Amino acid sequence: MIAKRAEQIKPFIVMDVLERARAMEHEGINVIHLEVGEPDFDTPQCVKDAACKALEEGHTHYTHSLGNLELREAICKHNFKTYNVSVHPDQIVITSGTSPAMLLIFSVLLEKGDRVIISDPHYACYPNFIRFVQGVPVTVPVYEEDGFQYRPEAIKKRITKKTKAILINSPSNPTGNLLSESRMRAIAEFPPYIISDEIYHGLVYEGKEHSILEFTDNAFVLNGFSKLYAMTGLRLGYLIAPKPFIRPIQKMQQSFFISANSVIQIAAIAALEKAGEDVARMKNIYNERRQYMVKRLKEIGFGITVEPTGAFYVFANAKHISEDSYKLAFDILEESRVGVTPGIDFGNNGEGYLRFSYANSMENIIEGLNRIENYCESHFAGVR
């Protein structure tokens, strides 16, 4: 009775880890969460104030289906200031998170059997979205020794007439690595479209992130407020698309979602215009945690060939202790009471790795990694 399109959705394993961790907590067990991919910080006060004010002032109605014009203009300003790229407000659609924006982009681009190139490892949900609209995800492996960056020549080999887009995500979930400017420039040349998931932009600790729009107009940008502004639960994101795609996307938005949340759209203007200091504060703290986590994981024996410089993840090689990352993650959870995400959640090429998130306090990171060190010493002493 269940439609194939729903049945084929693969579970998001990190949620399975999280749910088991929550059940343990319910039994009174203390669990350290290094699995979750959401900021531990509170939403900046200026954003909360703007949301409360918008609510008080009665901004509780549907907005324009493309989104609040003032917010779209603020996004254009942000793009110009950050990347020196000019975007028109009519190229932007505000959505209830980056996730619905992804659904809209794949829906407007893909016919049955059309292919989208994604890296392996990749954000776990991408193939679900692509298959849901009858597209075919085509994976291109990326390697630890390259800092998990795409090799443009490997992408080129997988392009066929059916390829509609190449998906990039820099800084990346799960690896925390950036795609270099030169590789991004090379990828931008490939036909027909690049979809660039820029949700971790702003969370870069070394080097500089680039928007795909610096290199080509044949591109779709995905972005949102969840990560940089610690607004995950407030659900707000957006897409930027070439103009001819906007009207079809708008019709889907009108029918499927009507508009994004009115109050949070106003709060998002405050995020873009007033939350700079909060972002800088959070970023400094993430960076301290990143440096500590990388150092400690290496000491414990995990392999990190190229240090991650963005987002809030470390993707560490654990092949010396297990080739079965799913089992390893659950063993660590049961025995050490630390949640980590198995690399297999992010594709076959992620097998043998674990993703550690540093979106948790330094105190918890220290305790969590001490527990993992004890786990490794008691099971795999001498194995490096």
Ligand X SMILES: Cc1ncc(COP(=O)(O)O)c(C=O)c1O
- Under the rule (CB under 6 A), what is the footprint of ligand X? 37, 97-99, 123, 169, 173, 197, 199, 224, 226, 232, 237
Residue 153 CA, distance from chain mean position: 25
Torsion sign, CA atoms 250, 254, 257, 262: positive
C-beta of 321 vs 359, nearer to ligand X: 359
Is there a contact between 176 and 341 (Cβ–Cβ < 8 Å)?
no
Q: Confirm if 377 and 371 have CB atoms less than 8 A apart.
A: no
Given the structure tokens 């909060």, which residue do they identify?
A: 278
CB 179 within 8 A of CB 150: yes
Which residue's CB is nearer to ligand X, number 48 or number 53? 48
Q: What is the closest distance, in whole angstroms, from the C-beta atom of residue 51 to ligand X in the complex? A: 17
CA distance 339 to 30: 11
**What's the CA gap between 286 and 362, in Å, rounded?**
9
Q: Which residue has the tokens 């979750």?
A: 36
Token pair, residue 38, equals 């959401």
From CA 31, how far away is CA 17, in angstroms rounded?
11
The residue among 44 and 224 lying less far from ligand X, judged by its C-beta, is: 224
Least spacing, CB of residue 367 vs ligand X, in Å = 24
Least distance (Å) from ligand X to the CB of residue 58? 26
Least separation in angstroms between residue 174's CB and ligand X is 8
The CB-of-30 to ligand X minimum distance in angstroms stands at 25
Q: Is the CB of 236 or the CB of 321 nearer to ligand X?
A: 236
When the beta carbons of 108 and 195 are compared against ligand X, the nearer one is 195
Q: How many CB atoms lie within 10 A of CB 376?
A: 20
Pick 85 or 236: Cβ nearer ligand X:
236
Closest separation between CB of residue 224 and ligand X, Å? 3
